[in-house]
């Protein structure tokens, strides 16, 4: 019950996480400031006749200091309006050279509104002669700028805010589309849908996939959680596979993960099976994944999208936990390397270091050894997850909680293996088979 109350407290809309943002910085046009998104509404129109996707966004944000607000959007922003006045949007480099968007007008502290338009072509495929569209808001965490900003204007991962998507299929009187999402979807007219997402999601949490009606094989069922909830589950597959097989695997993994870490932290689960060997990607209570990576991606609904990394430097933690499980929760008196700088990226880094799997699971196996007198690392992770679900974590937060739980001082260990110098690393560090780098054309084939 105590955990339920905690969950309710942190689920309040527009959680202020600005203290987790990278440092503001100076540019030749003045101070660039990170801001706190309160709400974002994305009106997305799939024009089936013109085969074009348009977005009109309205963002309400709070500035805590005076300066030019930062956000991100990979496609070109157009027709931007700040507090009712036209404004330019520039693409600038953060201090580490990473690109980011900046509103080219200074704002005082307070609440502001930004409107802008864009089109996007990433992971969109139109049928011929107005026969529907396939589109997915998939993400990649090992690559840079591959979260929500591929499609719509978003904040960086440090922010959690309520998103509403209004999706219109224009050019037809009645939309014949299926929608798969981890938000709450309502059909508002014959060709329009509204999707409301939980306010604890970050820019890497939302799952949205639409396909022409009947294109995928779909199975809906419920899973009885250990906390008594009947959790709605949707699995869907393409013509070459059977959703029944995917369902059986999902049920098995639900039971394992709930036994280890506690109740599923999401209102539902939606999973799309992609081709064998393509790996997968996790969203919050959702995934697109091959059957072989389903367990890894469901684990991420606890670590990655149950508790979320606040930045790219914290991204190794959830991949290390997932990989530690993939390899059978090993316990080792020493990691299989002498030292690394795995968590020492720039404060502005947004993607996860691809060495997180191999080095991270060795470090977790070592932490499990260090924590053996207090129940091992899994005992810690269970409490850590249940206490901090739906919130963001940093590396320091993880370390501090490990030390509090165990009574150990882990400073030397982190300074050596995570924040140190590369020592004794294998000449080749295998990237995970679970998060393969897929080309743009390969991703289009999965739609």
Sequence-distant (6+) residues with CB within 8 A of 49 are 130, 170, 171
- Residues 153-172 touching Zn ion, rule: CB under 5 A, are none
Residue least distant from Zn ion (Cβ): 322
Backbone CA torsion sign across 319, 320, 321, 324: positive
Residue 32 or 291: which CB sits closer to Zn ion? Answer: 291
Beta bridge partners of 364: none
Taking the least distance from each CB to Zn ion, the nearer of 36 and 157 is 157
Nearest residue (CB) to Zn ion, 17 versus 323: 323
Min separation Cβ 138 and Zn ion, Å: 14
Site for Zn ion in 409-428 (CB under 5 A): none
Contact 135, 209 (CB under 8 A): yes
Q: Which residues does residue 58 pair with via DSSP β-bridges, in sequence order?
A: 41, 115
Total residues contacting Zn ion by CB under 5 A comes to 2
Check: CB of residue 223 under 8 Å from CB of residue 235. no
- Please give the structure tokens belonging to residue 318: 């959830």
Closest C-alpha to 258, from 299, 201, 219: 299
> First vs last Cα of the chain: how many Å apart?
41
Whichever of 149 and 319 has its CB closer to Zn ion, that residue is 319
Between CA 308 and CA 240 the distance in angstroms is 34
Which residues in the 299-338 window bind Zn ion by CB under 5 A? 319, 322
Per the CB < 8 A criterion, the answer to whether 301 and 284 are in contact is: yes
Phi/psi of residue 416, nearest 5 degrees: -85, -50
Q: Which pair of structure tokens corresponds to residue 405?
A: 């739980």
Cβ atoms of 272 and 122 closer than 8 Å: no
Quickly count: other Cβ atoms within 10 Å of residue 347's Cβ: 14
Q: Which is nearer to Zn ion, 36 or 319 (CB)?
A: 319
Nearer to Zn ion, 169 or 303 (CB): 303
Closer CB to Zn ion, residue 15 or residue 322? 322
- Of 149 and 326, which has the nearer Cβ to Zn ion? 326
- Angle of CA points 221, 223, 224, to nearest 5°: 140
The smaller minimum CB distance to Zn ion, of residues 103 and 299, is found at 299
Output the DSSP codes for 391-404: SEE-HHHHHHHHHH
CB of 284 to Zn ion, least distance (A): 14
Task: State the nearest-atom distance from the C-beta of 142 to Zn ion, in Å.
Answer: 9
Phi, psi of 92 (to 5 degrees): -125, 170
Window 266-305: contact mask with Zn ion (x via CB under 5 A)? ----------------------------------------
- Return residues touching Zn ion (CB under 5 A): 319, 322
């Amino acid at each position: 019950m105590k955990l339920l109350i905690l969950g309710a407290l942190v689920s309040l809309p527009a959680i202020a996480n600005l203290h987790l943002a990278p440092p503001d910085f100076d540019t030749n046009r003045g101070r660039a400031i990170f801001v706190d998104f309160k709400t974002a509404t994305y009106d997305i129109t799939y024009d089936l006749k013109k085969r074009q996707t348009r977005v009109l966004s309205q963002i309400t944000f709070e500035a805590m200091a005076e300066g030019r607000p930062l956000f991100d959007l990979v496609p070109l922003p157009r027709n931007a309006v700040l507090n009712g006045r036209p404004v330019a949007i520039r693409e600038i480099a953060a201090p580490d050279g990473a690109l980011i968007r900046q509103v080219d007008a200074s704002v005082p502290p307070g609440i502001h509104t930004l409107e802008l338009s864009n089109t996007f072509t990433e992971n969109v495929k139109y049928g011929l002669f107005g026969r529907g569209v396939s589109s997915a808001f998939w993400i990649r965490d090992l690559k840079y700028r591959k979260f929500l900003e591929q499609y719509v204007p978003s904040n960086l991962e440090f922010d959690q805010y309520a998103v509403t998507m209004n999706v219109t299929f224009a050019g037809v009187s009645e939309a014949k589309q299926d929608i798969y999402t981890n938000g709450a979807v309502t059909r508002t007219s014959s060709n329009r849908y509204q999707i409301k997402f939980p306010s604890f999601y970050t820019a890497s949490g939302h799952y949205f996939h639409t396909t022409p009606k009947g294109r995928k094989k779909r199975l809906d069922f419920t899973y009885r959680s250990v906390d008594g909830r009947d959790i709605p589950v949707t699995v869907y597959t393409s013509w070459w596979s059977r959703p029944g097989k995917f369902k059986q695997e999902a049920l098995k993994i639900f039971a394992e993960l709930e036994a280890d870490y506690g109740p599923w932290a999401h209102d539902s689960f939606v999973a799309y099976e992609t081709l064998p060997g393509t790996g997968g990607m996790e969203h919050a209570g959702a995934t697109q994944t091959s059957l072989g990576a389903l367990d890894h991606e469901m684990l991420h609904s606890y670590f990655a999208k149950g508790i979320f990394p606040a930045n790219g430097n914290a991204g190794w933690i959830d991949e290390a936990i997932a990989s530690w499980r993939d390899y059978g929760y090993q316990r080792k008196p020493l990691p299989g390397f002498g030292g690394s700088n795995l968590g020492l990226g720039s404060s502005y880094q947004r993607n996860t270091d691809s060495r997180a799997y191999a080095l991270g699971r060795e470090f977790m196996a070592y932490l499990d050894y260090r924590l053996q007198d207090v129940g091992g690392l899994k005992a810690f992770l269970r409490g850590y997850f249940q206490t901090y679900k739906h919130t963001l974590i940093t590396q320091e937060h993880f370390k501090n909680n490990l030390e509090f739980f165990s009574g150990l001082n882990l400073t030397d260990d982190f300074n050596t293996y995570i924040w140190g110098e590369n020592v004794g690393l294998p000449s080749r560090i295998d990237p995970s088979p679970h998060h393969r780098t897929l080309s743009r054309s390969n991703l289009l084939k999965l739609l």
